[in-house]
Amino acid sequence: MMLKLSKDKIGELFQKIASDRTLYLPVDNNGQVNFGRWTPDAAVRLDQLKTVKSSKDFFFPQTENIVAFKRQGKDISIIEKRDANEPFVVFGVRGCDVRSLDILDRVFLCDPVDSFYKARRENGTIVSFACSEPEENCFCGVFGIDAADPLGDATIRVIGGDLYWDAKTDKGRALEESAGALFTQATALDSDAIKEHDERSREISGRLPLKDLDLDSFEESALLEKFNSPLWKELSQACVGCGTCTYVCPTCQCYDIQDFDTGHGIQRFRCWDSCMYSDFTLMAHGNNRKSQVERFRQRFMHKLIYYPANNDGIFSCVGCGRCVAKCPISMNIAKVIRALGGVSVSV
Amino acid sequence: MRRIRDMIRGRAGELLRDGTVNRVLGWTNGEFYYDPNPAIFETEKSLDSLVYNGFSAAMLSKYLIEATKKEGRVLVFLKPCDTYSFNHLLKEHKVNREKTYVIGIGCGGMLDIEKLRTLGAKGIESIDEEGENVVAHTLYGDKTFARRDALLEKCLSCKGKEHKVYDELAVADDLWEWETVNRFTKVGELEGMGPGERFSFWRGELSRCIRCNACRNACPVCSCLKCVFDNPRSGVQAKANADSFEENMFHIIRAFHVAGRCSDCGECSRVCPQNIPLHLLNRKFIKDINAFYGEYQAGAVAEGKSPLTEYATGDVEPSIVYERGGA
């Protein structure tokens, strides 16, 4: 059953949700919109289609302490110091970012389960946000994502002056119950407005410039053919080897674990890493990917061949378009798919 | 700039054909009007995709470090601001001048796609550059913007249209001209703040940093073979930091490291995915260098010493820090 709330009451909804858990939503920090903690004076920006970083941070944070070691004389004590596991809500997550959690789940929740990630997934409630006006660098449709009616624990649509609420899971319904008094029941007239909204959104998605990216040839059987393609050299030559694409990507999942000498002990932490970096997976024997061509190839081979080969053919890209928007030199996965996809590349 | 594009396509073809150069470093077209990327062209045929428009902002000089290690000579297109970076790379012997052929190209100011989006262009399918206007054709209708409003920050304080080094020029007399701003105005404002206010300004701006290293990697003078922050043996390898202040220090240290070498090309701020005004740190150093040692512009020439690599008895004493700190 769809519920409804006048848009001017949205502050009350946030207040209600935040009364017994932490609420994260798109917030403006000097012109840049990122997910941030809601406070009564936060500059909430639901009008922005995409946040710079994705909602990945709340489940797989950029840095997190894992364990600490302390030495006293000959004794070494191990101190487990986990962040408190508290319920939280991420509000306004677009369909692409919702899908990205499914992709991360397949990595972090398979054996051996990543207990840090698992705890956050269990504590987190996702309120997704239907896209009314997709942008030209969006291509989630290529991956079968319906931006007009995304998955999530609950979904909101903003149509005109109204917000529509659609709980989809038990977690979503529980959240709905706690904010119940604010909502009214949607009417048949509302259903028409929603139908119209979704159709319009899908119609726009259907004529986005990147909608026809062809992924057919990216399959396990083509692994060597793609790997050996001479095009990687050409595609990677502009890459400056920064980690922008990796860090704005909702599905990039690589991390490093390091020890930090605090002067009176050791703090072991993990942090995001980027396959674009020269010290990525550096081992005693040196680096197994010495050139930027190899590092660049790794990122796209992982997303388009290796990951799907291990995960029922699901690509590790959701078409959010963040890398398209943010790469310093405008190289991105769309260009890679365009160059390597479709026609088979002879070596 | 379309005229210049046609000129340089033709000229690059000639130079490849007559063997003057072996390859061409330029920009190739992408999925959209606004996303050309740097590329190396090795055949005349491939030059069909060479583009030069208001979104060819990515500077090419740094690519020459690698490109001039190869056999043969490379043709490069340098906008006026890029000639400063090129000169500085020559000064530090990072680029072999003999292996380059420079065509200085005219520039009508580079555009900031993020600014266009902030101004209300949503779903940009194509763009027309029409003199003082930029027209965005979008999924949601056409929108016209004043070109000046959409200029990159670095172009608003353009150093001028003069190329500091070139083998030949490809310029047009009808390039758009715009009113520039004084690049030190904002630095002056920050200097005018109390230490607390200035500290919170930078804490706020740098709080958005995601340590992607785009600023460092795009910087033409950040050309160390291995950056200390990438070196696990350095003890300061920094994929993550102990706290957010340590994180902020990265930028300050980087600004120190490029002081006296930074030509204020503005690439650091252009490439920042979080729009942090990093150029302001560099400009503070430039302003101080100008005040302490006399006007100095890195990259204006490829020879000579720079103020911070030369000692003169009249040089400012370290105690200046206490006199000017404002604490």
Kindly state whether residues B18 and B100 are assigned to the same domain: yes
As a whole number of angstroms, the distance between CA A100 and CA B158 comes to 41
**Cα angle at A274 between A253 and A87, to 5 degrees?**
35
Total tally of structural domains belonging to chain A: 2
Q: What is the mean pLDDT of residues A6-23?
A: 95
Strands A154-159 and A124-129, how do they pair? parallel
Residue A10 lies in a domain: yes
| Residue A232, pLDDT score | 97
Which residues in chain B touch residue A208, judged by CB atoms under 8 angstroms apart? 139
Residue B13, min C-alpha distance to chain A (Å): 19
Q: Identify whether residues B85 and B129 lie together within a single domain.
A: no
In a domain, B179, yes or no: no
Q: Is residue B178 part of a domain?
A: no
Q: Is A316 contained in some domain? A: yes
Contact B37 A244 (CB under 8 A): no
The whole-angstrom separation of Cα B214 and Cα A14 is: 35
**End residue of a domain, out of A153, A182, A205:** A205
Regarding whether B286 and B316 lie in a shared domain, the answer is: yes
Predicted pLDDT at A283: 79
Q: What is the DSSP letter of A346?
A: P
Backbone φ and ψ of A185, nearest 5°: -75, 140
Question: How far apart are alpha carbons A17 and A11 in whole angstroms?
Answer: 10
* Domain contains A198: yes
Mind listing the pLDDT tens digit for each residue in A130-155?
999 999 999 999 999 999 999 999 99
B124-130/A22-29 β-pairing: unpaired
> What would the two tokens of residue A233 be?
């050299």
**For residue A168, what are its two tokens?**
């989809």
Residues B162 and B229 reside in one and the same domain: no
Cβ-based contacts of A271 with chain B (< 8 Å):
239-240
Residues B24 and B92 both lie in one domain: yes
Contacts of B320-327 with C-beta under 8 Å, sequence gap 24+, read B320/B292, B325/B195, B326/B191, B326/B194, B326/B195, B327/B195
| B76 contact residues in A (CB cutoff 8 A) | none
Q: Do A273 and B239 touch (CB under 8 A)?
A: yes
Element (H, E) at B284: helix B279-293
**DSSP state for residue B146 in the 8-state scheme:** E
- Residue type at B8 in one-letter notation: I
pLDDT of residue A272: 94
Q: In this prediction, what percent of chain A has a pLDDT beyond 90?
A: 84
Are A189 and A252 in the same domain?
A: no
> Is B12 in the same domain as B102?
yes
| Residue B175 included in any domain | no
Q: Which of A174, A205, A236 is the last residue of a domain?
A: A205
| Cα–Cα distances in angstroms (integers) from residue B233 to residues A121, A142, B223, B228, in the given order | 36, 43, 19, 9
Set of chain B residues whose Cβ sits within 8 Å of the Cβ of A137 = 32
CB B107 within 8 A of CB B84: no
Cβ pairs bridging A and B (under 8 Å): 137
Q: Specify if A211 maps to a domain.
A: no
Predicted pLDDT of residue A103: 98
Q: Which of A131, A235, A244, A270 to mutate to test the interface with B (most CBs of B within 10 A)?
A: A244
Same domain, A143 and A247: no
Q: Does the distance separating the beta carbons of B214 and A244 come in below 8 Å? A: yes
Residue A239 and residue A163 share a domain: no
Could you tell me if B76 and B52 are in contact, meaning their C-beta atoms sit under 8 angstroms apart?
Answer: no
CA distance A248 to chain B (A): 9
Per-residue exposure over B83-119, b if at least 16 CB sit within 10 Å of its own CB, e if not:
bbbbbbbbbeebbbbebbbbbbbbbbbbbbbbbbbee
**Residue A178 belongs to some domain of the structure:** yes
A237 CB neighbours in chain B (<8 A) are: 38-40
- Residue A210 resides in a domain: no
- Say which range, A45-59, A116-130, A156-170, A254-268, has the weakest mean pLDDT: A254-268
Contact assessment for residue A58 and residue A24, using Cβ atoms and an 8 Å cutoff: yes
Residues A22 and A89 in one domain: yes
If asked whether residues B193 and B314 sit together in one domain, one would say: yes
Residues B139, B103, single domain; the answer is no
Which of A296, A330, A331, A332 to probe the B interface (max B CBs under 10 A)? Answer: A330
Question: Could you tell me if A277 and A150 lie in one domain?
Answer: no
- Cα–Cα distances in angstroms (integers) from residue A154 to residues A25, A173, B80, B240, in the given order: 14, 8, 53, 34
**Type and span of the H or E element at A310:** helix A307-310
Residue A208 banded pLDDT, cuts 50, 70, 90: very high
Average model confidence (pLDDT) across chain A: 94
CA distance A69 to A76: 7
The range of the structural domain enclosing residue B293 comes to 185-324
Domain finish residue from A149, A172, A205: A205
* pLDDT over 50 (residue A347): no
Looking at the fold, whether A85 and A169 belong to one and the same domain comes out as yes
Set of chain A residues whose Cβ sits within 8 Å of the Cβ of B214: 240, 242-244, 328
- For the ranges A10-14, A317-321, B85-89, B171-175, the lowest mean pLDDT is seen at B171-175
Considering B102, B135, B170, which residue would you say is the last residue of a domain? B170
Tally the domains of chain B. 3
How far apart are the C-alpha atoms of B253 and B259, rounded to whole Å?
10
Cβ within 8 Å, pair A207-B30: no
Is residue A40 exposed (0-12), middle (13-18) or buried (19+ Cβ within 10 Å)?
exposed
> Sorting pLDDT into bands at 50, 70 and 90, what band is A284?
confident
Cβ–Cβ under 8 Å, residues B190 and B201: yes
Residues B232 and B162 in one domain: no
**Stretch A57-80: mean pLDDT:** 92
Shared domain for A232 and A156, answered yes or no, is no
Q: Is B168 helix (H, G, I), strand (E, B) or coil?
A: strand
Q: Does residue A247 sit in helix, strand or coil?
A: helix
More confident residue, A41 or B228: A41
- CA distance, residue B227 to nearest chain A CA (Å): 10
- Indicate the SS3 state at residue B75: strand
Higher pLDDT, B57 or A65: B57
Instruction: Examine the domain organization and report whether B165 and B33 are in the same domain.
Output: yes
Joined tokens for residue B30: 């992408």
* Residue B196 CB partners (closer than 8 Å, separation 6+): none
Q: Does B210 contact A240 at a Cβ distance shorter than 8 Å?
A: no
Nearest CA in chain B to A280: B230
User: Quick one: B206 and B300 in the same domain?
Assistant: yes
Residues B13 and B100 in one domain: yes
Query: Do both A320 and A237 map to the same domain?
Result: yes
Provide the domain limits for residue A41.
3-205
A71 found inside a domain: yes
Residue by residue, pLDDT tens for chain B (327 residues) are 889 999 999 999 999 999 999 999 999 999 999 999 999 999 999 999 999 999 999 999 999 999 999 999 999 999 999 999 999 999 999 999 999 999 999 999 999 999 999 999 999 999 999 999 999 999 999 999 999 999 999 999 999 999 999 999 999 888 899 999 999 999 999 999 999 999 999 999 999 999 999 999 999 999 998 888 888 788 777 677 666 777 788 899 999 999 999 999 999 999 999 999 999 999 999 999 999 999 999 999 999 988 999 988 888 888 887 777 655
Q: Which of B138, B239, B275 sits opposite A256 (nearest CB)?
A: B239
pTM of the full predicted structure?
Answer: 0.94
What's the CA gap between B284 and B295, in Å, rounded? 13
- Mutation for B interface: A135, A329, A335, A336, most B CBs within 10 A: A329
Using a CB-CB cut-off of 8 Å, the residues of chain B touching A337 are none
Considering the domain boundaries, does residue B228 fall inside one? yes
Q: Is residue A44 part of a domain?
A: yes
Residue A66 burial (CB count, 10 A): 15
The Cα–Cα gap between A53 and A90 comes to 13
Helix (H) or strand (E) holding B170: strand B168-170
